[in-house]
A and B are shown apart, each in its own frame.
Chain A
């Protein structure tokens, strides 16, 4: 049985890839993922905002109160070096490459076309086999149009593609008026893969403190359906590889993802919650399922349930919605269809 898959030209021994998460923050963590059977690792994201924030915070506090009082013209030693910026990240990519034999996919998060795009080049120089561009922008500006924001994404991709030769995947949010068109334009701009979809930190309210608090919820299998649909829609219609990255927890999720058209299915919440052993457990499940149904290879099933390969393509579109509604209807006969 051939479990291997290719993703952006990278040959992977199976399609269950750990996605960007805190698990890849240390070399030890990356090694453990390889040991647990990961065919590749998407590194945690180098955040543009985070880098800028750390830089500004450090500058603020090193300057704060300085040169104000004759006895204390500063309050800290002026250290020779700070790991502000991508150095720590790049070092990790570099050591991960030399310490493992699996592909390492760097991840870059940001939305501006400024100098930070150079980090993409640096990640390539550090040895990354590919780059995942994690684009999201919470559009709060009342005067900024959707078209402008879409263009900003495309510009970032254009600039990144100019600086690197390794394949570039774009990790998207699901919030576009036309996800298909956006996928099409990203592909035209040179994206090698689309990763569906990003999950955000959504704020919550603390009723005790009457304040907003950041809150990260791990995903669950129910969330698979959104990327599943869009993967199924895009598969075979945009010339890029697809990856599913939300709601992949169980063997069934992996199988569904592949059948929708994903070259790889990515896991983070499941591994964070239940440990790295889940990679092999899920993979074993995939194997049993394939054995049971006499599948020979993973590639055989990729896209088998995508819209272009469905007998009734409309089921992925609005009809699917109708069917769902109907499943709650008191009429079990399906007359509505």
Chain B
């Protein structure tokens, strides 16, 4: 049978089989498994059918725990059901997994295995998550490559139905789940042959039904529980045989034979590595290489890890083996050894195998590179008389000295494999083009292909690296390209920031997107780069991709231009054929977006090759430009020695000793990472400016700052430093400066949109206008430094910080985050940091906020000159409200205890001070500052008096000294997105609201799971298209505010900065001042809405004007005053919902794909808005 070959990612392969062989699919987003759910949801929306000719039902749940529960129920009711997950998601499924296994229920969960959050969260791949489920009673089957994912997804489907034991089908997150390879697609006939009707019917026959009622899930007492637990033993004993049988059947169908344990290598090997997952591929490649050199090495791939068949394991191991290395991609601190290591020892001992030495090693945690050099290092270690046990490979453990050495230059790359590395910007479309290229090569040539894509941790101005291989044999190189014969640099600025030619081999081809043209490009390259080009004898081509792309109407997206050049140079296809194939791919990818887009791309392709030029390389480097320092010399040592290394792409070289042992990092590090990503930045026009502060308020990256100061402070100001007379009646004679940090700006232009002041002569100009950054960079850097040295305004004297104009003067303690350019969340976060940052503790739910807030290398959270600032932590996604509540409980308890201690020490510390401390009014900044002074005095007294105090008193004094800061009021902020607040964390949030405790909950409501790519949450509005709601969300947004108001003692408010910034400031102040739980739901425009981000604030205004997002407050304090606690803060709707909604792609795309449904849903939404407004209006008017 001829099966189609498709070039797809691992997740698609798994989802394909899962979708085809199931009826009910529960999904929930979590990286890197989200796309499996996305495929399933999209296929359902498109009406694709499973092998029984029916469209499976795909249902998003509120958490992975919910997904597991739903699948448990679906299975009990007799459906073929599945889900997909990873990492913390899998941990949340564990309770149900015990149940499902205990009830011997057939199902397969597909797992893109990922690291667990420990000292830090990581989204990347390892086996920590699946290893945590070993005791649940699930079978565990590992796939190591894209093809294996498709194949073993089916084998596990068959085996679970036959064995009744549920299966985890596991493959490595990112390395396998996101790697694009050429896969032979299984046909419906293959699937039907392996999932036979009698198996399905047997599964159904075990279902719960009132027709034949039974009871499951009983409670058992000591008399029988134990026996019950042992009763399923025969099923586990039979499972390995069933799996092998399924593998054999599969081999009969496809010719691809798998075994429970697949051995590759010398039949008489003396050294064998035992492992599972994608690392097997790199190891196999190494084994083949070493065999050719006569080494006696082998690899035992474990496919079925649970139930672990000792019999099959021993049989698969060559009898000649003297030493095995059991390689675990996980870490169990404190254990006798990692799981596989322990299993191998147990197996050998039980089987009576003697004379085999077992060592254990750890590798590849969180997608740490695991390449053939490291594999060679392991085999070399095994040659030693006393090899290290419990070693690590791939990192330098200079603390406990567990790492083994390897030769990083060792390579097994074959000469006939093309290895291409592309450096691009996220925004330029490089990755998308490369995905297309790899598909073209995979599907239009006989080559085998591999595409793997690396992104940095920033959401704006991010760098992407694409690794493409293609060659005549299946590619097993599951590691990054280190020896590239083609390097493309799509962003000229990278030459100054990273060693992009590190991977280029001698004679490699270098393609540069250069704005300088063939004549001047050479002169613009830094000396080191020129020298590398000469030394490595690189053949260099340049094209001004931006000019070509712009002329074709593609803006900064150079993807198609550079793709055409790649094909032209690489010669993988004859040039004309390549052009034809690129155009075919363009038509396929963009055709449905309209003819204009296709033509635009065609034009770019046609113009590309004629604009590409080969560069003449001189014999000597001629440039005098050196690569600049990564961070300023003024940066703290930690930033220079640690952070800067990561920024420079050298994080892999940091030794264990460089790492904080407990995940604790200094704040205030983003200020050192000057990213210079904005092409245009705002410039202040002193004459037009009215000093309203709106630009400062909306700036998502805190790059626009305002200060007032005395004229004397201007001494020594740089020549271009701008200043104006301050327009505050409270600040007579003062000067005012609005300063932009041009090197930190992302160029979003939100500030320009927010500016209300227009130039009277040129209406296109405002008080702040975008201009090119480069010509300003040097001067503005000096201006920024001068500005920073100006004193911060006093928070105590003079003006009140309760309005937008005045708040602009407060120092933000959240700055320069890696959030999306024009982010709608960060202005709120920054505002909170301005108002309360110096006494705030922040509990941050996992999501966008935690990534731009806490993903290394740098953090935007910072402190003021007195060293105070927000203390920030992220616990999990699901528990953030509880996490913050815990902080509050501690603060309250320790404050109470500190007060008790003050009472106990009244005499020694002085009655006057004690009373002042205990009776302090801290309702405003002045009160808080006064209390800080008292606490300082207290600490002094406690320090000086301690020696004179008696033993007991001295102990109390020491105790109080450690808690004295608790006497100053603290502000607890619980922050997160709607995925947390509306869905996974709602139970906790509800409990915290009900607690009555003084916490402030800020929900940054983007109405989707933004961080994982825009999946629907219960906040997603009716009629909006989102992932997991591909057909338009059929239900309305949950009214979280109404639910919270029902408690009566919760401060609740909605805000939308773009509609009323004054209301936003007032509400946040009120919420914080309320001595009880506060919930602020903040409209946060988002890249996932499909809007011009520069117009985000305008869109917020339209949301309010349409009545979709009414602004209101519910302040229980008013109730105590006998007033209506509820009030509407925005006017009655004045525009139609559709006039707001159809500015956004999320709504418009439904109108474009399914106009009838869109019309119905928009009408329904409008009706809902009108009804809700009437209800709120009545509530506001009630007495």
Which A residues fall within an 8 A CB radius of B? 51-52, 54-59, 61-85, 88, 114-116, 210-211
Chain B: interface residue count, which band?
35 or more
Q: A70 to B31, Cβ gap below 8 A?
A: yes
Contact of B594 among A69, A78, A85 (CB under 8 A): A85
**Listed residue (B593, B600, B1025, B1088) with the most chain A CB atoms within 10 angstroms of its CB:** B593
Contact of A75 among B31, B592, B599, B1090 (CB under 8 A): B1090
Q: B597 to A56, Cβ gap below 8 A?
A: yes
B593 — which chain A residues lie within 8 A by C-beta? 55, 58-59, 62, 82, 84
B1006 to chain A, nearest CB (A): 11
A78 — which chain B residues lie within 8 A by C-beta? 42
Contact of A63 among B46, B557, B1013, B1155 (CB under 8 A): B557
Binds A, one of B388-396, B423-431, B437-445: B423-431
Contact of A210 among B41, B427, B763, B1152 (CB under 8 A): B763
B1090 — which chain A residues lie within 8 A by C-beta? 61-62, 64, 75-76
User: Given that A62-B1145, A69-B455 are contacting pairs, would A84 and B1014 also be in contact in the complex, using a CB cutoff of 8 Å?
Assistant: no
B1180 to chain A, nearest CB (A): 29
Q: A68 to B464, Cβ gap below 8 A?
A: yes
Which B residues fall within an 8 A CB radius of A? 31-32, 34-35, 38, 41-42, 45-46, 123, 174, 425-427, 429-432, 435, 453-455, 457-459, 462, 464, 553, 557, 590, 592-597, 599-600, 758, 763, 820, 851, 1010-1014, 1025-1027, 1030, 1087-1088, 1090-1091, 1145-1146, 1148-1149, 1152-1153, 1155
CA distance A88 to B457 in the complex (A): 42
Q: B1152 to A82, Cβ gap below 8 A?
A: yes
Q: B763 to A83, Cβ gap below 8 A?
A: no
From B31, which residue of chain A is reached at the shortest CB distance? A71
B42 — which chain A residues lie within 8 A by C-beta? 77-79
CA distance A207 to B445 in the complex (A): 63
Q: B455 to A80, Cβ gap below 8 A?
A: no
Q: A75 to B1155, Cβ gap below 8 A?
A: no
Q: B1087 to A65, Cβ gap below 8 A?
A: yes
Nearest 6 Cβ contacts at the A-B interface: A68-B426, A55-B594, A72-B1013, A84-B594, A67-B431, A77-B1030
Query: 26 A–B contact pairs at CB < 8 A?
Result: A54-B594, A58-B1148, A59-B593, A64-B427, A65-B1088, A67-B431, A67-B432, A67-B455, A68-B425, A68-B426, A68-B427, A68-B459, A69-B462, A70-B32, A72-B1010, A72-B1011, A72-B1013, A76-B1027, A77-B1025, A80-B1153, A81-B592, A83-B1155, A84-B592, A84-B593, A115-B599, A116-B595
Q: A77 to B38, Cβ gap below 8 A?
A: yes
From B555, which residue of chain A is reached at the shortest CB distance? A60
Q: B41 to A70, Cβ gap below 8 A?
A: no
From B426, which residue of chain A is reached at the shortest CB distance? A68
Q: A67 to B1149, Cβ gap below 8 A?
A: no
B1025 — which chain A residues lie within 8 A by C-beta? 76-77, 79
CA distance A52 to B454 in the complex (A): 34
CA distance A58 to B1145 in the complex (A): 7
A74 — which chain B residues lie within 8 A by C-beta? 1013-1014
User: Given that A68-B459, A72-B1011, A76-B1014 are contacting pairs, would A63 and B596 also be in contact in the complex, using a CB cutoff of 8 Å?
Assistant: no
Q: B429 to A75, Cβ gap below 8 A?
A: no
Q: A79 to B426, Cβ gap below 8 A?
A: no
Q: A59 to B590, Cβ gap below 8 A?
A: yes
A71 — which chain B residues lie within 8 A by C-beta? 31-32, 34, 123, 851, 1011-1013
Q: B820 to A81, Cβ gap below 8 A?
A: no
Q: B600 to A56, Cβ gap below 8 A?
A: yes
A80 — which chain B residues lie within 8 A by C-beta? 45-46, 592, 1153
Q: B595 to A55, Cβ gap below 8 A?
A: yes
CA distance A58 to B597 in the complex (A): 9
A52 — which chain B residues lie within 8 A by C-beta? 594, 596
CA distance A64 to B1014 in the complex (A): 13
Q: B595 to A79, Cβ gap below 8 A?
A: no
From A67, which residue of chain B is reached at the shortest CB distance? B431
Q: B758 to A210, Cβ gap below 8 A?
A: yes
A56 — which chain B residues lie within 8 A by C-beta? 553, 594, 596-597, 600
Looking at chain A's contact residues, the main secondary structure is: loop
CA distance A167 to B976 in the complex (A): 62
Q: A83 to B1153, Cβ gap below 8 A?
A: yes
B173 to chain A, nearest CB (A): 10
Q: B1152 to A58, Cβ gap below 8 A?
A: yes
CA distance A68 to B553 in the complex (A): 21
Contact of A67 among B426, B595, B1011 (CB under 8 A): B426
B1009 to chain A, nearest CB (A): 9
Q: A66 to B464, Cβ gap below 8 A?
A: no
B454 — which chain A residues lie within 8 A by C-beta? 70
CA distance A284 to B592 in the complex (A): 49
Q: A69 to B459, Cβ gap below 8 A?
A: yes
Q: A55 to B46, Cβ gap below 8 A?
A: no
Q: B594 to A72, Cβ gap below 8 A?
A: no
Contact of B45 among A70, A77, A82, A115 (CB under 8 A): A77
Contact of A115 among B432, B595, B820, B1087 (CB under 8 A): B595
A206 to chain B, nearest CB (A): 10
**Listed residue (B31, B1152, B1155) with the most chain A CB atoms within 10 angstroms of its CB:** B1152
Q: A77 to B1155, Cβ gap below 8 A?
A: no
From A60, which residue of chain B is reached at the shortest CB distance? B555
Contact of A79 among B31, B455, B458, B1030 (CB under 8 A): B1030
User: Given that A68-B459, A71-B31, A72-B1011 are contacting pairs, would A63 and B429 also be in contact in the complex, using a CB cutoff of 8 Å?
Assistant: yes
B500 to chain A, nearest CB (A): 18
Q: B596 to A55, Cβ gap below 8 A?
A: yes
A328 to chain B, nearest CB (A): 38
Q: A59 to B1013, Cβ gap below 8 A?
A: no
B806 to chain A, nearest CB (A): 26
B597 — which chain A residues lie within 8 A by C-beta? 55-56, 58-59
Q: B1146 to A76, Cβ gap below 8 A?
A: yes
A210 — which chain B residues lie within 8 A by C-beta? 758, 763
From A212, which residue of chain B is reached at the shortest CB distance? B763
CA distance A58 to B1014 in the complex (A): 17
From B1027, which residue of chain A is reached at the shortest CB distance? A77
Q: B1145 to A76, Cβ gap below 8 A?
A: yes
Q: A76 to B1149, Cβ gap below 8 A?
A: yes
Q: B431 to A73, Cβ gap below 8 A?
A: yes
B430 — which chain A residues lie within 8 A by C-beta? 67
**Listed residue (A67, A82, A114) with the most chain B CB atoms within 10 angstroms of its CB:** A67
CA distance A232 to B1082 in the complex (A): 63
A83 — which chain B residues lie within 8 A by C-beta? 1152-1153, 1155
Q: B45 to A68, Cβ gap below 8 A?
A: no
B1131 to chain A, nearest CB (A): 17
A54 — which chain B residues lie within 8 A by C-beta? 594, 1152
Q: B1153 to A82, Cβ gap below 8 A?
A: yes
A54 to chain B, nearest CB (A): 7
CA distance A75 to B29 in the complex (A): 13
B432 — which chain A residues lie within 8 A by C-beta? 63, 66-67
Q: A79 to B758, Cβ gap below 8 A?
A: no
From B46, which residue of chain A is reached at the shortest CB distance? A80
B427 — which chain A residues lie within 8 A by C-beta? 64-65, 68
A81 — which chain B residues lie within 8 A by C-beta? 592, 1153
CA distance A79 to B1154 in the complex (A): 10
A76 — which chain B residues lie within 8 A by C-beta? 1014, 1025-1027, 1088, 1090, 1145-1146, 1149
A59 — which chain B residues lie within 8 A by C-beta? 590, 593-594, 597
CA distance A84 to B599 in the complex (A): 14
Q: B45 to A79, Cβ gap below 8 A?
A: yes
